[in-house]
Structure 1
């Protein structure tokens, strides 16, 4: 059984409210995790992903697509009423026929997305929340679309960060950022190229060649193709180096 809104508020107090969507779903009031039913999780996640107000009919129809309009609307009302209210605060605000997250609910997806486009993303090592997918075990269509958008933004930002860090001669951090991008998509040639470039910048020819051969074997196994001429050009001087 889930605790009532009143008991959740008593436990959580009045700490800052955080909604986590990167990795596992979680709602925190201060350090206290709040229990949220599955329907409430979907409601909060959709409002966070939309990042604005949504009309009640659109919201009900999206979250309960197989239910008739009246039933979907009733499900929406029930989901809102069952949300926890930490410190008596609402997680969702209503403006007539439209709903949105309460203004004091902080969302990790918003923070990560904003940081990706900020000047800090060009200077500093990537934060931890760039390394996981959005709600990785959810299969709703609206989650899948946002997951891929965030994944592509994250991979491009990691690669850009790797390039910037390498130019600053922060080779270890540049390598880690490139490897994180590679973990997000093992067949991504641009990430393999950045790993090789980081090794070469440090003078680690053997590591660069090892990365190239691993990528070539992966491409042959998975896709039956060879690496592009661009990445081969990076290691060509090493492959053609005469023996002592």
Structure 2
């Protein structure tokens, strides 16, 4: 019996083994809502969230017909309904749940897939999208740091730059990228990353990077220069992390 994989990170998809399951828009929204709820949901809550702009009788009819179709779409029903509650069937794997459960062999692939249900403008999606955004950023930074400590710099940089792209004003993401460059010995790249962030922060919020951010580069340069103030990297002059606003 083929496993069913439901994907809500990035583009919504549903597959039974290698076979894509083509869900109608109503069924997609129902499966997405149940996946984001992470629990059995009362029928009244479902009809209110998905068809709240329709009369109660019509909304209930939409739910019944959608459930009927979902039970017949795959070898096993995709949903379980009993005692007035509806839930994702136990044999269905949801990528969001896998990411939230902790490290797994494909966690990086899932984190790189994008945000939660991009393009969906339902209120119940937007709340969970922000929750996932925070989880994703922390996970990307943790994985970046782990690869850096293992000296897998290319992988670390790839994850760190995705975190920066997700939230360009997030200092900890930029700091991880800077530390990767420094561990590789790419001081100029680290300074470029710092200066780019400094200018953006000043432009958007009229703020300067934190002392902890500046200390990352300054401490590194102190270790490299040591007692030889005449030392200069071959690629560029040594400069301190600028403490003032962008020029």
* Aligned residue runs from structure 1 range 196-207, under 5 A: 196-207=178-189
Contact 1:91 1:102 in 2 (8 A): yes
TM-score under structure 2 normalisation? 0.82
Equivalent residue for 1:45? Answer: 32
Counterpart in the other structure of 2:205 = 223
Instruction: Please tell me whether the aligned partners of residues 21 and 134 of structure 1 are also in contact (alpha carbons under 8 angstroms).
Output: yes
Uncovered stretches (5+) of structure 2, i.e. residues with no partner = 222-237, 242-247
| 1:175 aligned counterpart, secondary structure | helix
- Partner of residue 111 from structure 2, selected from 113, 118, 130: 130
Structure 1 residue 137, shift from structure 2 partner = 0.7
> Hey, what does 1:28 align to over in structure 2?
15
Which among 177, 202, 207 is matched to residue 195 of structure 1? 177
Aligned residue in 2 for 1:170: 152
User: Given the superposition, is the C-alpha separation of residues 126 and 215 from structure 1 closer, same or farther in structure 2, using an over 3 Å criterion?
Assistant: farther
CA distance in 1, matches of 2:28, 2:17: 18
Alpha-carbon distance in structure 1 between the residues aligned to 2:74 and 2:155: 41
Structure 1 distance, partners of 2:13, 2:71, is: 12
Superposed CA RMSD in Å reads: 2.1
SS in 2 for 1:100: strand
Q: 1:66 is paired with a residue of what secondary structure?
A: coil
1:66-85 maps to which residues of 2 (within 5 A)? 66-83=53-70, 85=72
TM-score w.r.t. structure 1 length?
A: 0.83
Distance 2:204 2:69 in 1: 47
CA distance in 2, matches of 1:193, 1:184: 14
Conserved in 1, the CA contact under 8 Å of 2:35 and 2:88? Answer: yes
The CA deviation at 1:162 is 1.8
Give the Cα separation in 2 of the matches to 1:63 and 1:209. Answer: 50
| Equivalence for 1:5 | none
Q: Which residue of 2 aligns with 1:11?
A: none
Any gaps of 5 or more consecutive residues in structure 1?
A: 1-13
Q: Is the 8 A contact 1:34 1:84 kept in 2?
A: no
- Kept in 2: contact 1:125–1:173 (CA 8 A): no
Q: How does 1:3-152 map to 2 (within 5 A)?
A: 15-83=2-70, 85-115=72-102, 118=103, 127-131=108-112, 132-152=114-134
How many angstroms apart in 2 are the aligned matches of 1:67 and 1:142?
18
1:68-112 deviation line (CA, Å, top 9, x unaligned): 322221121122123363454211111121111111111111112
